[in-house]
Amino acid sequence: MRLNSALHNGAAGAHRAAIAEEQEFLDVATARRDRLADHLQAELSSDALDALERARQRMLRQQYEELRRAREGLVFGRLDGLDGTVRHVGRVGLRTDGEDSEPLLVDWRAPAARPFYTATAVDPQGQARRRHVRTAGSVVVGVDDEPLDGTMTAELVGEGALLAALDQRRTGRMSTAISTLQREQDDIIRAEATGPLIVQGGPGTGKTVVALHRVAYLLFAHRKMADQAVLVLGPSPRFLQYIAQVLPALGETAVVSATCDTLLTEICVGRDESRLLAEIKGRALWQPALENYVTSLLPRPRELKLRWEGEFYVIAAAAVAQALSSAVQGRSYHRARAAFAEQLHHLLAEAVAEQREVLMNEMEEGFEDILARFDRGMKDDQHFGRTSTGSDVDGLLSEEEIEQLRSRIAENATIARFIEAWWPTLDAEHLLRVLLTDHTLLARFAPQLSPGEITAVSAEPAPWASSDIPLLDALADLLGEVEAPQPQGEFVADRARRQRGWVYGHVVIDEAQELSEMQWQMVLRRCPSRSITAVGDIDQAEAAHRHTSWAQAVQAALGDRWTAAELTICYRTPREVMDLTDSVLKKAGSHNAPPRAVRSSGIAPWELRITPAELADAAVQAVRELQQRWHGGTVGVIAPADRIAELLTMLSDVPVLTATQSKGLEWDATLLIDPQGIAAEPRGWNGLYVALTRCTQELGQLMLT
């Protein structure tokens, strides 16, 4: 007993000494951060006078914001090298005050920090020990040491820190996980961004954490990417609100977050639609159909007769055809029209010049003596200091005069109205309404559709549905801007958000299994380089499309040119709950095994069988008890879609969602109401798989009998 007590006291003393040591370092790092932040703030007080200074101010402001947000969790790790070197890892990189400017704190995204996430006792990567530092504000509250010299092995990197983080109460907002990332997660975060990366991960494997930290890493490692911004696509506005603080907390502002429905900022979704119709309109066939539709709207070559200053001029059909062919090459509808208009202005100016030359030749044949006297008179005028042009002497227009004539033609309202009538400006919304309500046009441009499918498409009411957004986006791209907009805003994200045709440096997609083939086309238009990271779980797919594998889901957009990665460890959902999912997956038709849970909450999932008449009282009572048990945390309720409205009237202080709406979210405790009803919905077993795996601690189910 005395020996055990002495060992315990010794360990406790060593732990207190380690905390004191890390507190001393945290104080130094915090003071350095504060000095740098104050210096940057003072620099920002000066007025930016020119473009170079404004660019510098933007850079300084970004650095200041990064330091300001790093107050929480500034230092979270330490690496002790086999060679005696010590490196601390944190939210941002800091250097010392000295002239040599040695690194004080290593940014978690820097290559030097990678062993913090990847070193093991089997592969120590030159490290003797890894220490996880837990802080609350400016106070160190705990440390966890891992020997990497073979004296101790662990399945997880920083197991103590990880499990402590997982056991914390949920707040309804996602927090960063830079202190507890695991090796398989870090491998994906730091993977090359040269092409599409599709990441399969079951519930609780940290897909979203990986996706967002990958954004932060790429913007840090590839600075030019920040000039183009990164687009983060999520499944719902609620989800975007949930993750809203993660990237700013990691110091990244060159990010635009959206759903597929909100990518077209000027269009609002105003109608739900059937799964059948959503599946039809999500098919890849619409891309070539819309391309052919817009091509059919181009004007056909013919002879053009234009009026200029009281005279008519004819542009031959052959010249029109050549100008039309040249203008259309590789251009959108409206840009092709602008290119054609420019060529037509030249053709008309040349026609005016040629007709003048013909008239002058005719005059010379009949009135040579008059012209001779005219020329002598012109010479006399020159003698008196008058400067003449080529047309003054021989009636012909010089190249300069022809160019001046072309400019006058280009500014002429009558000519502009003629071009508008022959090659009109088109509106994507109007065009799509025409197409979707015309059986003949649908049969012509989308012959793959059956008569029944054409009827279903054309019978829909006027407000736009979610599946219309990718079609509108495709049409808007094919039409192009009438005039290229001038993006406004100080930060790149502001400019990108306002401009539909913005090309992003990288796109991250969460819940990517839900994207239709036409939504994938929206992604490719915004990132033609195909620098894409898509994370999701094909077994959680609930969308109307029929894809059951990633190869099917991305074939139309990416073909075989993509890389697969997998997350296999479930960190969020306790083992007691994950044990329920294997049979659900099999009923969903999956061939995948559920991810392996690495933690136990010690709380067995429970069921309560009730009648429909008892539902209201039972739901209120169950939620109240869960809130009491998980005070300071969160409780969520998931139910079939047809019960949501009823439940919302009685449960006003907790989120009440369908399985689809709960995707990507997590709570300390989940109350699952009528799981049989969820399983009976379209792709309901997939939905039940989602619903079962939202909790971090406790799962309760109200079973209707």
How many contiguous H segments (helices) and E segments (strands) does the chain have? 30, 21
Helix (H) or strand (E) holding 9: helix 2-43
What number of other Cβ atoms are within 10 A of residue 168's Cβ? 12
The answer to whether 151 is annotated as binding is no
The answer to whether 204 is annotated as binding is yes
**What distance in Å separates the CA atoms of residue 16 and residue 241, rounded to the nearest whole number?**
39
Tell me the DSSP string of 527-562: -TT--EEEEE-GGG--SSS---SHHHHHHHHHTT--
What number of other Cβ atoms are within 10 A of residue 564's Cβ? 11
Please name the amino acid found at residue 6.
A
What number of other Cβ atoms are within 10 A of residue 434's Cβ? 11
Nearest to 93 by CA among 71, 78, 80, 108: 108
Are 470 and 519 a contacting pair, CB within 8 Å?
Answer: yes
Contacts of 509 (CB under 8 A, 6+ apart): 211, 233, 515, 523, 532, 533, 534, 535, 536
Nearest to 660 by CA among 636, 684, 635: 684
Distances (CA, A) of 255 to 225, 246, 383, 448, 493: 10, 11, 70, 39, 6
**What distance in Å separates the CA atoms of residue 266 and residue 481, rounded to the nearest whole number?**
14
The answer to whether 206 is annotated as binding is yes
Tell me the DSSP string of 54-116: HHHHHHHHHHHHHHHHTTTTSEEEEEEETTS-EEEEESS-EE-SSTT--EEEEETTSGGGTHH
**What distance in Å separates the CA atoms of residue 698 and residue 605, rounded to the nearest whole number?**
6
**What distance in Å separates the CA atoms of residue 152 and residue 203, rounded to the nearest whole number?**
29
Tell me the DSSP string of 360-414: HHHHHHH-HHHHHHHHHHHHHHHHTT----HHHHHSPPPHHHHHHHHHHHHT-HH
The answer to whether 207 is annotated as binding is yes
The DSSP output letter for 126 is: T
User: What would the two tokens of residue 556 be?
Assistant: 């139309």
Tell me the DSSP string of 430-458: HHHHHHHT-HHHHHHH-TTS-HHHHHHHH
Q: Residues at the annotated binding site for ATP?
A: 201-208
Q: Residues at the annotated binding site?
A: 201-208
